[in-house]
Amino acid sequence: MSTWAPMVPYVKARLGLDDAQLGAVLLAFGGGSMLSMPFVGWLAHRLGNRAVIMSAGLLMCVALPALAHASSVAMLVGTLLYFGVMLGAVDVAMNAYAVEVEHRGGDRLMSGFHGLFSVGGLSGAALLSGLLALGLALPGAATAIAIALASTVLWLRDGLRSDASSASVDVEEKSRPRMPPARAWLLGFMCFVSFMAEGSMLDWSALFLRDVRGMAPASAGFGYACFSVAMATGRFSGDRMIARHGPVWAVRVGAAVAVTGFLLVACVPLTMATLLGFVLIGLGASNIVPVMFSAAGRLSGAPPAVSIATATTLGYVGLLSGPALIGFVAHASSLPAAFVAVAALLVLVGLSARMVR
């Protein structure tokens, strides 16, 4: 997924897109993921998470060279839609499989898995950028990474076991679509808020530092770097803390730390205080979503993949629509006021922490 980020300027220049056109085109990426996730929850329950991870993982690799070769807006939109569908399939199935691994081992592992996702986000973009800096053309660099990723998926194939929960369900039960329980929707709302907080950092942190705190444009991206490093750090240490204090404690404390960070960013007019706030937001939000996914996978009344698909879909809605909602609030009042509004929603997440028992 992160390999796509360095491609964006090349694709924009080749197709002659302005910012508004590019923004509209990029909706196909997230839209494809949201369209596939609810269906993939049922498909993973029927076929098993392993089968979905393997097939969608290989098919997803095809999108990278196709994106590098996109010669028209229609081709770009279609490829991004396809890429989003396959990414959504892998996202749901691998989180459901992670819940299965937690059940088998009896350990808390989800935060560490999401920490490796953060590492992938940093290394994927760096790898493609490095290949381009060495003089390799974009199609060649994208193809090389696609081949490496496909080889990795095939190499991991034998390490993925069949799903115990899936194997214990008869064929008739597998073929019948299941509606997620009400608690899955509530967990999904909490994921919506958490992903909104993450999206606000991705899309608004640099703008906030430049326009509100007066930081130089060349240095404004440092705020998101602080947030990203803090989030990865929090996730790699999160499993031990959750095992020691429990998931309810993790959500309450995480929400409180993130709320403190947002209030520090919004209310203290100092650059260093703002950067510290970004660090607190990253640390606080780091383990909320992993805990939510684990809790969704343990809900009774629906297969783990179906409940996780619900939480993931609503989380993606927050990631995609949240920054736009923040923009509307900022336009009506101010960007600091919009950050305070996100903090208020995170307070609701902290108050609802009992749901993750």
pLDDT (tens digit per residue) in 92-124: 888 888 888 888 877 888 889 988 888 887 788
Q: What is the pTM of this model?
A: 0.77
Instruction: Calculate ∠ Cα 339-24-27, nearest 5°.
Output: 70
Mean pLDDT for the stretch of residues 310-321: 82
- Domain 182-356 of CATH type 3.40.50.300: no
Name the average pLDDT for the chain: 85
Domain 2-175 is classified in which CATH homologous superfamily? MFS general substrate transporter like domains (1.20.1250.20)
pLDDT of 302 over the 80 cut: no
Q: Please state, in angstroms and rounded to a whole number, the distance separating the CA atoms of residues 284 and 26.
A: 29
Confidence at 357, pLDDT banded by 50, 70, 90: confident
Could you identify the residue written with the tokens 């920054």?
A: 323
Backbone angles phi, psi at 71, to 5 degrees: -110, 0
Domain with CATH 1.20.1250.20 in the chain: 2-175, 182-356
Q: Please state, in angstroms and rounded to a whole number, the distance separating the CA atoms of residues 325 and 35.
A: 21
Nearest-10 Cα torsion for 238, 240, 245, 249: 10
